[in-house]
């Protein structure tokens, strides 16, 4: 990476004093266009490794747990509630510690590199979960507890996912903070768009070529994902350097105890109504997506095969790769707040289209094309919305405490996520009792998923409208984030 100057402040694009090439600055880091391209290559490679790691466990684990006979609420607990509990507890610790860390490796890389080996190992453990379950069952655990082989295997997966998510939180929490530290702000949305292009492209390759083998070759897929992540992400961390940071602000003597630190942390993060409304908006949006983990069972109930679902996901990934960069350009050109409210309003209008599954009795081949059509309608909206989220956070949160404010948002998010994982599963089980399989058909209950999504998407639009009103009151485009040193809003 071409780092020409480590002392230039700011976040700008300039020419050097001799009329030379344009320089792009991110804090104390300075890049030429070639250096920026090198930075992009390594960050995109790191994101590709993260994408494969994430998509493998998120797509396969629910199928495996379902195959082992676990009820829906167990799937919700393992896939949503456990991760959200860990996020609530660990995210603020990781984020605040990283914000305040100073060392020769920077403030983000030491944490990410320390977690990477454990992530690779635990992915392999999940891949061998059936073998481990068989060994434990044969070693007497089944006789001692009365648990079946399936129950023990689900327990192995739950423990492995619990430990995996502890390590993975260091990546999911800090990777985008890392972006905010090393990428010039003037090209941030486009960088994030390129990241999503690579992510969706990697997801598309996985969906088309690998997903159909999810249950038959689970062991090989998880081991390969673990090795790729360990080697690839470690290489990125070695190649992308962080700049220098000013010393963290000292804690006042009366705020150094654990309770005082918690109070200070909460006071700083809640000092403005704008921040509170942003937290509420994201919390409700999380509730709207809580049942997304069950969509695969809806699609399978319509006669789809894993190969067909993989083909659709691959096509969506290719389309995303083509459309994501223009969405990033929009996010750079227009303030994300203004675009976001239009995107959310459009999403509320589109959700009712999914109620078509309540009435269709078509052949699987027809359902396949209906599903394709729904994806075509939803894709542009979801892409633009996703392109706006991180730039919005970067516009509203103080830069020097970006990790702290994001961590508080993660706490709020995880708090509702813990509950939503269980409630989502219970919602599906209740729908099954209200619309029993022997009358309405196998897994008809999953066709009621859009009712949950519509209610909470509409509520999130209301929260976003209140946020938009507050942002306008504070000056709209002239708004400047308030850091910890700003007085609390009256």
Give 263-309 as a DSSP string. Answer: HHHHHHHTSSHHHHHHHHHHHHHHHHTGGGGGHHHHHHHTT--HHHH
**Residue 126 CA to its chain's centroid (Å):** 20
Average pLDDT (322-343) is 76
Element (H, E) at 14: strand 13-15
Helices (H), 334-359: 336-350
Break the chain into its structural domains and give their ranges.
Answer: 13-245+255-478
* Secondary structure of residue 22 in the 3-state scheme: strand
**149-182 helix and 33-67 helix, angle to the nearest 10 degrees:** 160
CB 279 within 8 A of CB 409: yes
Average pLDDT over residues 249-274: 74
Average pLDDT over residues 263-270: 82
Cα–Cα distances in angstroms (integers) from residue 261 to residues 85, 253, 255, 432, 438, in the given order: 21, 11, 6, 47, 56
Q: Tell me if 259 sits within 8 A of 198, measured CB to CB.
A: no
Take residue 88 and report the two structure tokens written for it: 């609530």
Q: Which two tokens stand for residue 29?
A: 């880091």
Mean of the per-residue pLDDT values of the chain: 82
Q: In this predicted structure, which of 107-116, 177-186, 251-260, 313-322 has the lowest mean pLDDT?
A: 251-260
- The model's confidence at residue 5, banded by pLDDT at 50, 70 and 90, is very low
Residue 327 pLDDT greater than 70, yes or no: no
Q: What is the mean pLDDT of residues 392-410?
A: 81
Tell me what pLDDT residue 122 has. Answer: 96
CA distance 194 to 43: 10
- Cβ pair 287, 413 in contact under 8 A: no
Question: Edge-to-edge strands of the sheet including 13-15?
Answer: 13-15, 22-26, 29-31
- How far apart are the C-alpha atoms of 208 and 212, rounded to whole Å? 8
The pLDDT of 371-393, averaged and rounded, is 81
d(CA 14, CA 50): 33
Q: What pLDDT does residue 324 have?
A: 66
CB 313 within 8 A of CB 207: yes
C-alpha Rg value of the chain to the nearest Å: 23
Token couple for 23:
């320089």
Average pLDDT of span 46-52: 92
Give 420 or 64, the one with higher predicted confidence. Answer: 64
Neighbours of 49 (CB within 10 A): 22
Lowest mean pLDDT across 148-162, 257-271, 350-364: 257-271
Q: What is the pLDDT of residues 103-114, one digit of tens each?
A: 888 999 999 999
Q: For 183-236, write each residue's pLDDT tens digit.
A: 887 787 778 778 777 877 788 788 888 988 888 899 999 999 999 999 999 999
Q: Could you report the per-residue pLDDT of 14-39, keeping only the tens digit for each?
A: 545 555 678 888 888 999 989 999 99
Q: How high is the pLDDT of residue 331?
A: 65
Q: What is the pLDDT of residues 128-146, one digit of tens each?
A: 999 999 999 888 888 888 8
Residues 221, 345: contact at Cβ < 8 Å? no
Do residues 168 and 115 lie in contact, with contact meaning Cβ atoms separated by under 8 Å? yes
Q: Measure Cα distances from 461 to 25, 303, 348, 423, 474 in Å.
A: 36, 33, 8, 21, 20
The average pLDDT across 74-86 equals: 82
Tokens 């992540």 map to which residue? 229
CA max distance for the chain: 79
Q: What is the pLDDT of residue 188?
A: 78
The CATH code of the domain at 13-245+255-478 is: 1.20.1250.20
The percent of residues in the chain predicted with pLDDT above 70, rounded, is 88
Name which residue leads in pLDDT, 232 or 10.
Answer: 232
Inform me whether the pLDDT recorded for 12 exceeds 50.
no
Find residue 14's DSSP bridge partners: 23
**Residue that wins the pLDDT comparison between 117 and 262:** 117
> For residues 347 and 457, is the Cβ–Cβ distance under 8 A?
yes
Using the structure block, give the residue that is written with the tokens 């061998």.
128
What pLDDT is recorded for position 487? 42
Residue 242 vs residue 19, higher pLDDT: 242
Confidence of residue 4 (pLDDT cuts 50, 70, 90): very low
Q: Would you state the pLDDT for residue 3?
A: 35
């Amino acid at each position: 990476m071409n780092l020409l100057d480590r002392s230039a402040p700011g976040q700008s694009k300039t020419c050097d004093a001799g009329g030379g090439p344009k320089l792009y600055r991110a804090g104390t880091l300075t890049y030429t266009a070639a250096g920026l391209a090198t930075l992009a290559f390594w960050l995109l490679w790191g994101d590709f490794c993260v994408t494969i790691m994430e998509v493998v466990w998120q797509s396969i684990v629910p199928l495996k747990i379902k195959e082992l006979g676990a009820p829906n609420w167990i799937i919700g607990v393992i896939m949503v509630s456990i991760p959200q509990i860990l996020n609530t507890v660990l995210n603020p610790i990781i984020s605040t510690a990283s914000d305040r860390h100073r060392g020769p490796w920077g403030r983000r890389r030491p944490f990410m590199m320390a977690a990477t080996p454990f992530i690779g190992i635990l992915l392999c453990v999940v891949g061998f979960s059936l073998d481990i379950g068989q060994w434990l069952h044969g070693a007497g655990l089944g006789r001692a507890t009365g648990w079946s082989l399936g129950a023990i295997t689900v327990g192995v997966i739950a423990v492995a996912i619990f430990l995996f998510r502890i390590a993975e939180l260091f990546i999911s929490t800090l990777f985008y903070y890392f972006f905010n530290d090393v990428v010039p702000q003037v090209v941030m949305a486009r960088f994030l768009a390129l990241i999503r292009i690579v992510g969706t492209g990697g997801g598309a390759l996985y969906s088309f070529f690998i997903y159909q083998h999810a249950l038959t070759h689970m062991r090989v897929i998880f081991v390969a994902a673990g090795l790729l992540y360990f080697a690839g992400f470690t290489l990125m961390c070695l190649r992308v350097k962080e700049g220098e940071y000013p010393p963290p602000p000292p804690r006042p003597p009366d705020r150094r105890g654990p309770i005082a630190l918690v109070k200070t942390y909460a006071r700083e993060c809640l000092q403005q109504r704008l921040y509170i409304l942003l937290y509420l908006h994201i919390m409700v949006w999380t509730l709207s997506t809580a049942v997304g983990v069950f969509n695969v069972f809806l699609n399978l109930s319509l006669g789809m095969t894993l190969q067909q679902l993989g083909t659709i996901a691959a096509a969506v990934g290719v389309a995303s790769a083509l459309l994501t960069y223009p969405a990033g350009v929009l996010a750079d050109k227009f303030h994300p707040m203004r675009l976001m409210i239009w995107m959310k309003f459009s999403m509320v209008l589109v959700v009712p289209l999914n109620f078509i599954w309540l009435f269709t009795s078509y052949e699987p081949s027809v359902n396949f094309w209906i599903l394709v059509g729904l994806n075509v309608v939803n894709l542009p909206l979801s892409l633009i919305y996703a392109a706006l989220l991180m730039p919005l956070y970067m516009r509203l949160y103080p830069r020097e405490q970006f990790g702290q404010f994001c961590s508080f948002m993660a706490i709020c998010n995880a708090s509702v996520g813990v509950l939503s994982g269980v409630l989502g599963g219970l919602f599906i089980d209740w729908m099954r009792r209200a619309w029993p399989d022997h009358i309405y058909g196998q897994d008809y209950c999953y066709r009621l998923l859009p009712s949950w999504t519509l209610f909470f998407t509409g509520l999130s639009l209301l929260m976003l409208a209140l946020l938009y009103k507050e942002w306008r009151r504070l000056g709209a485009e002239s708004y400047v984030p308030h850091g910890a040193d700003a007085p609390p809003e009256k």
